Chains A and B, each alone.
Chain A
Amino acid sequence: MLGMLRKQLKGHPALIPLLFFIGGGAAMSMGYLARLALRNPDVCWDKTNNPEPWNKMDPTHQYKFYAINMDYSKLKKQGPDF
């Protein structure tokens, strides 16, 4: 399949940027899905050992990429321990 691709690109070199953009887009979407699957605290992979991953988070942990008004370093655990 790569051989076919190479032949086509040699004939139409203007298609190379297309590859970059489509490949980049696909990589970004797969990367976002991977981040959601592995880092999102709502996602539970191991029901027996870690059934509620959001309870194991640090209160200052920032999941979003960019927080506009929220100073995460000042947050503390809210409820009492039990």
Chain B
Amino acid sequence: MSICVLCDLWPPYWPRRNARLHPHRLSQSTYTAGIKVTLSSSLQLLQEVKMAEEDIQAKLQNYRTAPFDARFPNSNQTRNCWSNYLDFYRCQKALDAKGVDTGPCDWYKRVFTSICPISWVQKWNDQREEGNFPGKI
């Protein structure tokens, strides 16, 4: 008994003919009888965007510390700190320009607060205020 109810109704013979018509594959765009099925793919996109937002809220609530980032696998995490600091302010700037809530950007703020030395963050904040900040925001 699987979680996919439709799969249980799948004819139990082997090998499966018409595998293109398998319930799990109908939602991707495939050619079934020559007609491209794309209706459910746009619904899927909408669902994915909503899920992404809920994911971020869930991630922010369950946050303990900065997770492993494959871009910076070694013990020198300087670039990780720099990248997240830049990403936070870029995200704020981009979402402000779009007029959207900048809540999701908090993920970057939590990460750089976890890994950056406080003196660096203070120095960069001062540089940003003075207009001396060396990074591109």
A-side interface residues toward B, CB under 8 Å?
41-42, 51-52, 54-55, 57, 59-64, 67, 70, 72, 75, 78-82
Residue B115 at the chain A interface, CB threshold 8 Å: no
B108 adjacent to A59 (CB under 8 Å): no
Q: A54-B83, A64-B73 are in contact. Are A80 and B52 (CB under 8 A)?
A: yes
Query: Which residues from A are CB-within-8-Å of B105?
Result: 80, 82
A82 adjacent to B70 (CB under 8 Å): no
B72 adjacent to A82 (CB under 8 Å): no
Q: Complex formed: what's the CA distance from A43 to B68 in Å?
A: 20
8 A-B contact pairs sorted by A residue (CB < 8 Å): A51-B136, A54-B83, A55-B83, A59-B70, A62-B70, A63-B73, A78-B107, A80-B56
Query: Which residues from A are CB-within-8-Å of B22?
Result: none
Query: Which residues from B are CB-within-8-Å of A41?
Result: 71
Q: Which of B3-11, B90-98, B122-130 contacts A (4 or more CB under 8 A)?
A: B90-98
- Total A-B residue contacts, Cβ distance less than 8 Å: 54
Q: A62-B70, A64-B73 are in contact. Are A79 and B79 (CB under 8 A)?
A: no
Q: A54-B83, A80-B56, A80-B107 are in contact. Are A60 and B91 (CB under 8 A)?
A: no
A79 adjacent to B108 (CB under 8 Å): yes
A78 adjacent to B67 (CB under 8 Å): yes
State the majority secondary structure of interface residues on A.
loop
Centre residue among B56, B71, B73, B108 by max chain A CB count within 10 A: B71
Query: Which residues from B are CB-within-8-Å of A54?
Result: 71-72, 79, 83
Query: Which residues from B are CB-within-8-Å of A64?
Result: 73-74
The 6 closest A-B pairs by CB, nearest first: A80-B104, A82-B91, A82-B94, A54-B71, A79-B107, A57-B71
B90 adjacent to A82 (CB under 8 Å): yes
Q: Complex formed: what's the CA distance from A75 to B108 in Å?
A: 17
Since A52-B83, A78-B59 are in contact, a sample of 5 more A-B pairs with Cβ atoms closer than 8 Å, ordered by chain A residue number, is A54-B79, A54-B83, A57-B70, A64-B73, A80-B56
